[in-house]
Amino acid sequence: MNNFVFQNPTKIYFGKNQLSHLKEEIKQFGNNVLLVYGSGSIKRIGLYDKVMSVLKEAGVNVSELSGVEPNPRHTTVNRGADICKKEHIDVLLAVGGGSTIDCTKAIAAAAFYDGDCWDLVKRKAPVTKALPILTVLTLAATGSEMDCGGVISNMDTHEKLGLVHPLLFPKVSFLDPENTFSVNAFQTACGSADILSHVFDCNYFTADDRMDMACRIQEEVIRTVVRYAPIAMKEPENYEARANLMWASTWALNGFLDNGISQAAVCHMMEHELSAFYDITHGLGLAILTPRWMEYILDEGTAPQLKRFGTRIFGVDESLSDMEGAKEAINRLSKFLYQDLNLQSRLSDLGIDDGHFAEMAQKACNGGIMKSIKDLTPNDVEAIFRMCL
């Protein structure tokens, strides 16, 4: 079992009507606030007005950056950093899903850098300082509300890369499940697939020795998604379902369940290439990739873990052999993703062909090998992409 350090400084306000605390929380960081949001869903659900009214009560000055894209662009980060410099911004407030929060994290670091934020993402320049970040989450998916990473896209170079630094943990995040009532069935399904993949990639499936307690909690997170995602899709205003998904999203990626294992988040690395080349929705890409990855890595060595997943989550028959149990687990996961969550199952459904697969596979492996429960070379990754067509 690995040694590890766990520290997560983000303060969470969970539940209804907690937004009033934004007043005292934001004031401790200064008077000049940059409010960051996406294409307008927060206006449609009345959240923008609520946030503005609390900010007014707090007596702070508000600048705005709107139009953050799903798969946020480095150019938008640069725009945000320019506003921070011009307006002497003290604190950032992200109101939205993972894309808005990720963009805000990159702005927080870029505000102290004289140059293109892409240098920070590419690690050509170090993150030295960051503005404090507060978030109001509106979509259960990424875990960005309680982690220190953001994922930024450069569409000119077809790159989608993580910017990770301890300074980028949000100081405070507001998690009100009611703010996710308006998330449509497709985004609810994609967010749910993303949560599952965070557990799988970090590090439920692993060649390393891991702690049974962490593994069982990971299974509880998976079971929570399997149970509540279909309910939230059918009954978007079901508070219990939305609350369970929201807290599952946060705990899947806040470091608590990592087991100190350092391995590649393989499906994420592959998906980021799909998004970088084709600008697809992150959770959908993961849903298409994950069962194919499982099929590809299935052998005598990996079968016991895949079977355990099947028996613990989907009630697959314990008396099956490891190999049969593992195959049944993959079938059940596919059924969940493609039937219960109604997600598309093939890249060709999204108009994607194999034209860039070789290049994408090289980039996913960053010129080497991805270490995981079963290591993957670029040839392996290319084969998995082809299985998804």
Candidates 10, 22, 60, 71: give the one binding ligand NZQ (CB under 6 A). Answer: 71
| Residue 347 interaction partner, one of Zn ion, ligand NZQ, none, beta carbon < 5-8 Å per kind | none
* Torsion over CA: 13, 16, 21, 26 (sign): positive
- Taking the least distance from each CB to ligand NZQ, the nearer of 267 and 333 is 267
What's the rounded Cα separation, in Å, for the pair 381 and 377? 6
Asked if 194 interacts with Zn ion (CB under 5 A), we say: yes
Please say whether the beta carbons of 125 and 136 come within 8 A: no
Binding window for ligand NZQ (CB under 6 A); candidates: 12-20, 37-45, 169-177, 255-263: 37-45
Binding window for ligand NZQ (CB under 6 A); candidates: 76-84, 187-195, 217-225, 316-324: 187-195
Asked if 253 interacts with ligand NZQ (CB under 6 A), we say: yes
Please say whether the beta carbons of 183 and 236 come within 8 A: yes
Asked if 179 interacts with ligand NZQ (CB under 6 A), we say: yes
Please say whether the beta carbons of 275 and 19 come within 8 A: no
Distances from the Cα of 354 to the Cαs of 14, 78, 97, 155, in angstroms? Answer: 44, 33, 30, 19
Q: Residue count at the site for ligand NZQ (CB under 6 A)?
A: 34
Asked if 138 interacts with ligand NZQ (CB under 6 A), we say: yes
Please say whether the beta carbons of 150 and 118 come within 8 A: no
Using CB atoms within 10 A of its CB, is residue 249 exposed (0-12), middle (13-18) or buried (19+)?
buried
Site for ligand NZQ in 272-301 (CB under 6 A): 282-283
What's the rounded Cα separation, in Å, for the pair 353 and 108? 37
Binding window for ligand NZQ (CB under 6 A); candidates: 40-48, 56-64, 222-230, 255-263: 40-48
Site for ligand NZQ in 102-121 (CB under 6 A): 102
Asked if 177 interacts with ligand NZQ (CB under 6 A), we say: no
What's the rounded Cα separation, in Å, for the pair 328 and 307? 8
Candidates 12, 55, 136, 151: give the one binding ligand NZQ (CB under 6 A). Answer: 151
- Taking the least distance from each CB to ligand NZQ, the nearer of 105 and 312 is 105
Binding window for ligand NZQ (CB under 6 A); candidates: 116-124, 125-133, 181-189, 218-226: 181-189
- Taking the least distance from each CB to ligand NZQ, the nearer of 131 and 151 is 151
What's the rounded Cα separation, in Å, for the pair 374 and 211? 19
SS3 265: coil
Asked if 325 interacts with ligand NZQ (CB under 6 A), we say: no
